Amino acid sequence: MNKSVICHFFYPEISEKLLDELAKINDSETSFFVNIQGNTDEHDTLLNKVKEKLANAKILKTPDKGRDIGAKLLLIDLLIELKTESQYTLIIHDKKSSHLGNANFWREELFKIISPHYYKKVFEIFEEQPGVGIVAASKFTQNEYLKNSDSFMCNSSQKIKELLKKYQVKTTDYNFIAGNIFWIRTNLLRQFFEKRSIMEIREQLEAGNAMDFVKGTYIHAWERIMSWIATSQGYGLYGI
């Protein structure tokens, strides 16, 4: 079973723990696509550790644009351009969420899809349920869609609607994975971006640590739409 991993590292102080977890699933059937964002000595040390622990890794170093979404889009583009043989892709990042009081709980829950207890189960779900497109932590499957007003209960509602129209993303299932960490069928990524420009999408994303507390952002709109890559193609989300 060929697999691929899309991983964005930004916080060296917490990245190594995730790297160690990813190293446990490092085998000849897994291709790693890693972005390291930052130019400190700590980031250079992290880069060397990635090279040491992930033998089959393609590594990028990019400017801070679009937060983890911008980096993941570039890595998806690289995966597609290289015609990587892969049935399933893990999309993950070293989630810190320092603005949340329960950030550690959030991170550990999202990361459980690569834990020894659940790792094998993820692929059993994909194999046994062909209608499942994404597998992720059930606690962070959310839905903000308001049918009566055809809007979303978040500050990025207008930007979501703008992007859905622009990129012709049509779905009746607006469930999404908050935190943007999940396994997805790789062919869904290929088919979705086949007629959409990843570089155009990334160019519109905000630079720096853009947040959506006061007004919406394209970053947070795409955080929702990333899950709709699956639902817009008729596949569902499965929470574990």
Q: Which of 130-134, 207-211, 221-225 has the lowest mean pLDDT?
A: 207-211
Lowest-pLDDT choice from 6-20, 80-94, 153-167, 188-202: 6-20
Residue 19 C-alpha from the chain's centroid: 16
Check if the beta carbon of residue 69 is closer than 8 Å to that of residue 219.
yes
More confident residue, 96 or 141: 141
Residue 57 sits at φ, ψ, to 5 deg, of -120, 135
- Token pair listed for 238: 């499965």
Q: How far apart are CA 138 and CA 145, in angstroms?
A: 18
pLDDT at 101: 47
What's the pLDDT at 141? 94
- Which of the four pLDDT bands, split at 50, 70 and 90, describes residue 106? low
Q: Is the pTM of this model over 0.85?
A: yes
pLDDT of residue 186 exceeding 50, the answer is yes
What average pLDDT does this structure show over 112-118? 92
Across 74-90, average pLDDT: 97
Phi, psi torsion values for 185, nearest 5 degrees: -65, 125
* Average confidence score pLDDT of the chain: 92
At residue 170, the pLDDT reads: 97
Find, among 157, 224, 231, the residue nearest to 192 by Cα. Answer: 231
Average pLDDT over residues 153-178: 97
pLDDT digits (tens, 9 = 90+) for 51-68: 999 988 999 998 888 999
- What ranges in the chain are assigned the alpha helix state H? 12-23, 41-53, 67-81, 103-111, 116-128, 157-166, 186-193, 198-204, 218-231
Task: Count CB-CB contacts under 10 A for residue 215.
Answer: 11
φ, ψ of residue 236 to 5 degrees: the values are: -105, 175
CA atoms lying within 13 Å on the CB side of residue 78: 20
Residue 107, pLDDT score:
79
Task: Please give the average per-residue pLDDT across 173-188, as a whole number.
Answer: 96
- What number is the average pLDDT over the span 70-96? 95
Phi, psi at residue 130, to the nearest 5°? -65, -15
- The predicted pLDDT at position 99 comes to 46
Task: Check residue 205 and give its pLDDT.
Answer: 95
Please say if the pLDDT value at position 143 is more than 60: yes
Q: How far is CA 237 from CA 162, 197, 223, in A?
A: 23, 25, 15
Domains of the chain: 3-234 (3.90.550)
Q: Rounded to an integer, what distance in angstroms lies between the CA atom of residue 94 and that of residue 8?
A: 7
